[in-house]
Amino acid sequence: MIDELEALRAEALEAVSGAPAQAELRDLEVKYLGKKGALTAILKGMGKLSAEERPTVGALANQVREALKGAIEGRRADLEAAAIEALCADPHFDASLPGPSPSAGSLHPVTTITEHIEDVFRAMGFYLLDYPEVEDDAHNFEGLNIPADHPARDMQDTFWLQDGHLLRTHTSPGQIRAMAEFAPPFRAIFPGRVFRYERLDASHEHTFHQVEGIMIDRDISVANLIHSMKTLLGAIFEREVTIRLRPGFFPFVEPGFELDIQCQVCAGEGCSVCKGSGWVELLPCGLIHPNVLRYGGLDPEEWSGWAFGLGLSRLVMMKYQIEDIRHLMGGDLRFNAQFRAG
Ligand code: FA5
């Protein structure tokens, strides 16, 4: 074995010193030192040696390995230096030119707008909460005053999981979770992804973002609600936008409203986003239904509250005049890059 190792050393050192380029050098490294290489193959015979022979052969094998590693490193450095020298000798090479600049990442516009809304609400004393995307029937429907067989369940087509759970169809289940978690009075927002088994078009996605907000206190009125929604929209758009308030039906609020914003893509003229109407449904809201307060463990005689569920994806579309919601979750980085700051 000693002879075999010596022969291997001599052969490998010669081959390495004559390796013409990096690729050949890599091949030689694999051939001699790789897991299935020549050195490993020889060392497989170690088991047949006597106990006296083994340390000597083992020590030699280590020497050979180290010698080969050193020779390979040395040859690699020589080849690199030669390559740089050759490059510098090229009259077309200009070492003073800047190299390729690394491309900067960018935040998704939904993230940017979510963070902006979080700042607005935090400044007004709202908690910022995060609730699960996989929900149970009790929080997504039952506790929100939508019992089984209630026709309102058809308003939000649901992705059911095999174990009876579901992907939340809106952020409203957080209302009940927040009421169970905090003692009133309190105010909170909870942004997040929601999922619906939807037919997709320019303004409907199966996965989109909402932010829910609630305020629980004594004597909360519609006037409180409208004031808060106006403050919110003013802060978001940083410009005057035309809105309209209509009665809206949601089983978990009474009274309920739909707050629409004039379509910012077509300035109210009518387009595919607003389906020609000039208005986009953006901010459903209302006073929390007594049944929901009760389900959340609060006495409706003492406590009242408002809630809203803002469609964040549509808000992004309005803010940046994006004509198709499918761009938002499309995963095309060129789309994101358009929103790079600075
Ligand atoms: C709800 O989800 C209620 N939970 C909102 C609510 C909360 C009402 C609190 C009252 C009190 P709605 O299904 O209308 O309501 O959805 C709310 C918003 O989400 C819509 O205004 C719209 O902006 C957005 N939205 C709804 N469906 C889609 C969809 N498929 N794609 C993108 N955005 C959608």
CATH number for the domain running over 109-337: 3.30.930.10
Is the beta carbon of 172 within 6 A of some atom in ligand 1?
A: yes
pLDDT bucket at 49, cuts 50 / 70 / 90: confident
Verify cis geometry, omega within 30 degrees of 0, for the bond prior to 185: yes
- Pocket of ligand 1, candidates 172, 194, 233, 317: which has the most ligand atoms within 8 Å of its Cβ, to mutate? 172
Between CA 292 and CA 294 the distance in angstroms is 5
Predicted confidence (pLDDT) at residue 341 exceeds the cutoff of 70: no
Report, in angstroms and rounded to the nearest whole number, the Rg of the chain calculated over CA atoms.
34
Is the beta carbon of 184 within 6 A of some atom in ligand 1?
A: no
Distance 164 CA to ligand 1 centre (A): 23
The pLDDT tens digits of the residues spanning 136-192 come to: 999 999 999 998 888 777 777 899 999 999 999 999 999 999 999 999 999 999 999
* Kind and range of the H or E run holding 291: helix 290-295
pLDDT bucket at 46, cuts 50 / 70 / 90: confident
Q: What is the residue extent of each domain of the chain?
A: 2-89, 109-337
Tell the burial category of 320 from Cβ atoms under 10 Å away from its Cβ (0-12, 13-18, 19+): middle
Predicted confidence (pLDDT) at residue 342 exceeds the cutoff of 60: no
Between CA 16 and CA 29 the distance in angstroms is 8
Mean pLDDT of the chain: 90
Is the beta carbon of 258 within 6 A of some atom in ligand 1?
A: no
The pLDDT tens digits of the residues spanning 83-123 come to: 888 888 888 888 888 888 887 788 899 999 999 999 989 99
Predicted confidence (pLDDT) at residue 77 exceeds the cutoff of 70: yes
User: If you average pLDDT over each of 64-78, 179-193, 267-281, 306-320, which comes out highest?
Assistant: 179-193
Query: Model pTM?
Result: 0.72
Mean pLDDT of 238-255: 89
